[in-house]
Structure 1
């Protein structure tokens, strides 16, 4: 892709997100989301492959439906209350429709069907954007209307997302699809507490983004797309392999890594609000996600010395890629060890 085109696309994605998160009017927020969607479509179709075209088509249709539902919801609320202000979503039907539109844009269950297919048809750089940056605007809008959201709806969406995210990633061998279901599961943890304690919900999604970003960057530098190709990373990047293992365990929520902190706070808040059964069910469903995280970690460790790998090395890193991998290692290590600052 030409550098000028890439600059314009990147600028459109940034401006669209900033417009949406700083808006007070529903139409302005819709405009920002539309600009964001149109800007990322060329990045999805950058690969000259039918799979990329299919992914872009699915992404466009899903986001267009969500935008139409968002417009209908805000118009209905303005018709009933006379206000286009984002924080004054007082109509119950409008609030329900808006939640469904925003969950469809994020990729949470039950409107998650597009996310694994789109991520599988995209490059690793594009999947990084979809799982991190593209969720900022919808999450921010959901945070702004959190005081109008019914707790029962968010708890149902969150519990379903955790179940779908764990169950869907159970038998995946493609890393991009596995990370898509991981994203759905983490969105479920965010949705369960967004109407009870919105600040903890935001902390949870930010923590997931800071952990998944170096993981995706390491996948990009090693050109790993399947679980089989990940087994050969130890041969030329042993430190990177260890850091990737820790990142996976942190996403799984194992103590004392960073990913454990927001999950602990979410469960604590649910128990405080007398939702002990819900907290117990979420903890049980999260074991499904833990299974495929541990499976991936086992595949990484099974090739470590003194065990010899049985897979063929499909690539060799250039010196430039080695430098990038060396730089990413301390960055990833910092993201794993920020647990003490989160607990303060």
Structure 2
């Protein structure tokens, strides 16, 4: 069953990103959605059922909106080609549909709840793999996107992501709001310089994947349980701290590079006020990243933790974590040369 689900998720995404026809892309997204639902409902718990229901309903609405948009465009222009979304209303509806599928503001409402009701492995999929298809479709229609719309969505996402994660104690919800904020950075620049937008989302995935894998290996679901990580795997404690700082976008870590490129691009296009506002709003996200970092470091020896100790089980890090962690932390010098 797991093999079928995995194949469905992979095939759905590949179908959507390689499609040239809107119906094929829609089919790929639907296959993707249907495949991930059993993974969300894997836990026999009311919260998991609720999460799956919310995910299904939201994705179904987004899919219907996507179909309506593409049909309207085909009716007006006679083309089902993805890159020929010439009708203005169709383009706006398509942006709304794809942002709903990704979980960007203002259609972000489902993401924190779904992530909280899912396992850490499923949460990792939702924050990384599930965003590949919608962001690729946005990339393909980037020539037709109104910059004002994407800037508004982006700014709102950064604000909502920072504000929402501000007071969270559950790591999955905190990471959901972190995902919304990072999507905001991607959305602001997708209609101006799509390549930088794609770079930003790839880097976010590169950083969040090892972080989630470490959470899975340490069975950490709340900030309180994170305070005991140092007792059985001190190295993981340090790496998680660095990954959080990288997500926050602090130099010289990798997460700083896309933010710098985006801000530079906005200033180049005479959107200095927008760039300044984004930088200010990102301080909200920085607050909860630093709070989590503080919890990870302040409880390390010689300071004693106030939390109940977990069983000191051997922590097994898989090869993906080992491979992605250096990339997620130290490739700042490589990226600009690749983008030029």
Q: TM-score, normalised by structure 2?
A: 0.96
Q: Where does residue 294 of structure 1 map in the other structure?
A: 290
DSSP-derived class of the 1:112 partner? coil
Summarize deviations over 1:193-221 as a string: whole Å, max 9, x none: 00000000000000000000000000000
Q: What is the RMSD computed on CA atoms of the aligned residues?
A: 1.9
| Cα shift at 1:314 | 2.3
| Cα shift at 1:236 | 1.2
Q: Is the contact between residue 261 and residue 342 of structure 1 (CA under 8 Å) also seen in structure 2?
A: no
| Cα shift at 1:329 | 6.0
| Cα shift at 1:303 | 1.0
Aligned partner (choices 279, 285, 296) of residue 281 of structure 2: 285
Summarize deviations over 1:127-181 as a string: whole Å, max 9, x none: 0000000000000000000000000000000000000000000000000000000
The answer to which of 321-330 and 9-18 deviates more is 321-330
| Cα shift at 1:309 | 1.4
CA distance in 1, matches of 2:169, 2:3: 34
Q: Where does residue 188 of structure 1 map in the other structure?
A: 184
CA distance in 2, matches of 1:319, 1:98: 44
DSSP-derived class of the 1:224 partner? coil
- The gaps in structure 2 that reach 5 residues or longer are none
Query: Residues 188 and 45 from structure 1, CA distance in 2 versus in 1: closer, same or farther, beyond 3 angstroms?
Result: same
Q: Where does residue 70 of structure 2 map in the other structure?
A: 74
Query: Residues 335 and 174 from structure 1, CA distance in 2 versus in 1: closer, same or farther, beyond 3 angstroms?
Result: farther
Q: TM-score, normalised by structure 1?
A: 0.95
Summarize deviations over 1:269-305 as a string: whole Å, max 9, x none: 1111110110000000000000000000000001112
Q: Give runs of ≥4 in structure 1 deviating > 4 Å.
A: 319-344
- The gaps in structure 1 that reach 5 residues or longer are none
Summarize deviations over 1:207-251 as a string: whole Å, max 9, x none: 000000000000000000000000000111111111100000000
The total of aligned residue pairs comes to: 340
Query: Residues 324 and 14 from structure 1, CA distance in 2 versus in 1: closer, same or farther, beyond 3 angstroms?
Result: closer
1:106 aligns with 2:102: yes
Q: Is the contact between residue 206 and residue 327 of structure 2 (CA under 8 Å) also seen in structure 1?
A: no
Query: Residues 26 and 179 from structure 1, CA distance in 2 versus in 1: closer, same or farther, beyond 3 angstroms?
Result: same
Q: Where does residue 149 of structure 1 map in the other structure?
A: 145
DSSP-derived class of the 2:316 partner? helix
